[in-house]
Structure 1
Amino acid sequence: MLLIGYDCAFAGQNQPAHPVHRTHLVHKTHVVHKARLVHKNRVAQRSHRVKVETVSLKTVTRSTGYATPQVAAAATAAVTPGGSVAKANPYTDMIAKYATQNGVPVELATAVVQIESNFNPKMRGSAGEIGLMQVKPATARMMGYTGSAKGLYDPETNIRIGMKYLAMAQQLGGGPTCNTILKYNAGHAATRMNPISERYCGKVLALLD
């Protein structure tokens, strides 16, 4: 049956070209899929490179850095005449002068001053000890000092009196270092080593070593 006004000759020309349209869609889908794969591969490669670089940073160690400067250590230490290392101080010449005058080894005298006050002339002990060698006013008077307690803060006055007392401790102790330290630390009349003087002597021996 024919419809009026419908031209059979052109019946097939108005229909959409489905095969061509599907081919176009397939091609387009393939291109998009391929582009996505390329993009994913590039992202994966970048991620891989980042991970490799991050891991490589972990291999850096402190041994690759600069060497520790030795200037600070050299500035705080000095070699004593006996070859041992003691803390540098501005009273080296003064200590050597009065130690030599009183027959006390310079190394021993320096160690005593370092332990007593760490070379601080303003040091004040809990029992009234004063200055570099922690001399008590009563002890200073025994050594012939006639000045005030305040005068014992003077570095040279303190070392002069303290070194005289140390020399007498050495003489009364008979020579051994720990005997000298006992009588300097606990008093000239002390005869038995006590824990405090024993620790004191240990520190002295460590500095003299």
Structure 2
Amino acid sequence: MMRISLSAIALSLACTVGFAQPAARPAIYDALIAQQAKAHGLPESFVHRIVLRESRYNPRLVHNHCFGLMQIKHATAREMGFKGPASGLLDPQTNLSYAVPYLANAYRLADGDENRATALFSSGYYYLAKRKKMLASLRTASTAPVLAETAPPAESKPEPQANPIAGLFSLLTGTPAEAAPDRRASPIAQ
């Protein structure tokens, strides 16, 4: 009896280890994911993380009214601008075209926190966007690609920051805080 129990445990552990292996990432979707991630200002690795989590790279997966690689609902895809039937979301390019902007909105509302963005992607973010007054700035599939941020010109210098300790000191002593010296003034003019 003891041998049967140990054999059963060994067999169940062997089966579980086989399922615990991460799914191989098919390179066929890399270019599509890279293109959509770049267009919507997302880290490519984050989009891959969501695709792995939602469908394990199975573009034909349908579960609980969610479709394709990123398991987007038909109603959500329509909010993003999709006009076709739900079965159209089983096409990887179509699925990514509508699900990645939705993920980009969640990422932006989560202030770049990937874990929070994942939760918002799964549960929805309408009320958070409304509370943050960001409904008008949400992305859709037809939104123009995100442009790389440009660095400020070399000659512009940041404004001098007020010394917070001086402000606290003036509050405690009742004397006015000294103004920060203007570092941009020419030494000749002084």
Shift of 1:88: 3.5
Percent of matched pairs sharing the same residue: 36
Are 1:133 and 2:70 matched, yes or no? yes
Alignment of 1:1-209 (within 5 A): 87-125=25-63, 127-189=64-126
Name the Cα RMSD after superposition.
1.5
SS of the residue 1:90 aligns to: helix
Q: Which residue of 2 aligns with 1:73?
A: none
Q: CA deviation at 1:155?
A: 0.8
Shift of residue 190 of structure 1? 6.8
User: Following TM superposition, where does structure 1 have runs of at least 4 consecutive aligned residues deviating by more than 2 angstroms?
Assistant: none
Deviations 1:32-91 (A, max 9, x none): xxxxxxxxxxxxxxxxxxxxxxxxxxxxxxxxxxxxxxxxxxxx75xxxxxxxxx33420
8 Å contact kept, 1:129–1:137: yes
TM-score under structure 1 length normalisation: 0.48
| Number of equivalent positions | 106
Q: Secondary structure at the match of 1:110?
A: helix
TM superposition score normalised by structure 2:
0.53
Shift of 1:146: 0.8
Offset, 1:103 = 0.3
Gaps of 5+ in 1: 1-75, 78-86, 192-209
Amino acid paired to 1:103: G
SS state at 2:28 partner = coil
- Tell me the distance in 2 between the aligned counterparts of 1:107 and 1:94: 13
TM-superposition CA deviations, 1:13-37 (whole Å, max 9, x none): xxxxxxxxxxxxxxxxxxxxxxxxx
Alpha-carbon contact 2:26-2:57 (below 8 Å) kept? no
Is 1:89–1:119's contact at 8 Å kept on the other side of the alignment?
A: no
- Provide the rounded CA distance (Å) in 1 between the counterparts of 2:26 and 2:71: 19
Q: CA-to-partner distance for each residue in 1:170-200, whole Å, 9 max, x for gaps?
A: 1111111111111101111476xxxxxxxxx
2-side partners of 1:99 and 1:110: how far apart? Answer: 10
In terms of Rg, which structure is larger? 1
Aligned residue for 1:62? none
Deviations 1:97-123 (A, max 9, x none): 001100010000111111111111100
Instruction: Give the Cα separation in 2 of the matches to 1:88 and 1:122.
Output: 14
